[in-house]
């Protein structure tokens, strides 16, 4: 089975799934999902983005632990965006699966996920041991820069989805 044939099979499966049918036939489904997705991204950037900026050395008067307490809100927002994103994908799989902007978006999210793994396995414990106003170690700065860059990439690629619609879809 080739990648194209696997994507074609996935497209049919998603399009005919209950979420896919609901999104295409609901009057309010898409607008409500868009609103929830935007709110989720706002909360995600408002929490994860602030923590990333602190890792980059901004706002040294704010303790790492204070901003880290916001991370569960960011995780909840990310979860909301994954659910709403799945509904978008199910509703119009042809506009996503073949779209280079969508592939970039997924790539940026994957790199962001690997970065989280790096941060919590290599950097976080050391960060917790630092005094609240200390400058971030190099690993924390790298993790913060990668995270912020990837989330900006996710948002940019998400916005570009509508401009790079596949012509054959």
CA distance 63 to 61: 6
3-state secondary structure of 134: coil
Higher pLDDT, 160 or 167: 160
In degrees, to the nearest 5, what angle opens at C-alpha 98 toward C-alphas 92 and 101? 95
> How does residue 167 score in pLDDT terms, banded at 50, 70 and 90?
low
| CB neighbour class for 40 (10 Å; exposed up to 12, middle 13-18, buried from 19) | buried
Q: pLDDT per residue over 98-130, tens digit each? A: 999 999 999 999 999 999 999 999 999 999 898
> How does residue 141 score in pLDDT terms, banded at 50, 70 and 90?
very high
Mean pLDDT of 119-145: 92
pTM, whole model, 2 decimals?
Answer: 0.89
CA distance 23 to 59: 42
Q: pLDDT per residue over 45-89, tens digit each? A: 999 999 999 999 998 888 898 999 999 999 999 999 999 999 999
Q: Where are the domains of the chain?
A: 3-163
Find tokens 């820069």 and name the residue: 145
DSSP characters over 1-64: --HHHHHHHHHHHHHHSHHHHHHHH-TTHHHHHHHHHHHHHHHHIIIIIHHHHHHTT--TTS-H
Torsion, CA 97, CA 99, CA 103, CA 105, rounded to 10? -110
3-state secondary structure of 92: coil
pLDDT at 7 over 90: no
């Amino acid at each position: 089975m080739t990648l194209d044939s696997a994507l074609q099979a996935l497209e049919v499966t998603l399009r005919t799934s209950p979420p896919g049918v609901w999104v295409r036939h609901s009057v309010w489904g898409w607008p409500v999902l868009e609103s929830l997705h935007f709110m989720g991204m706002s909360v995600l950037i408002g929490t994860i983005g602030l923590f990333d900026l602190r890792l980059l050395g901004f706002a040294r008067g704010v303790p790492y632990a204070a901003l880290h307490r916001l991370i569960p809100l960011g995780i909840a927002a990310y979860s909301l965006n994954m659910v709403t994103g799945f509904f978008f994908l199910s509703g119009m799989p042809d506009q996503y699966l073949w779209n280079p902007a969508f592939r970039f978006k997924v790539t940026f999210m994957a790199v962001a996920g690997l970065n989280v793994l790096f941060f919590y396995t290599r950097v976080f414990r050391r960060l917790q041991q630092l005094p609240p106003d200390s400058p971030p170690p190099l690993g924390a700065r790298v993790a913060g820069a990668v995270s912020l860059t990837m989330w900006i990439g996710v948002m940019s690629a998400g916005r570009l989805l509508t401009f790079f619609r596949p012509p054959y879809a």
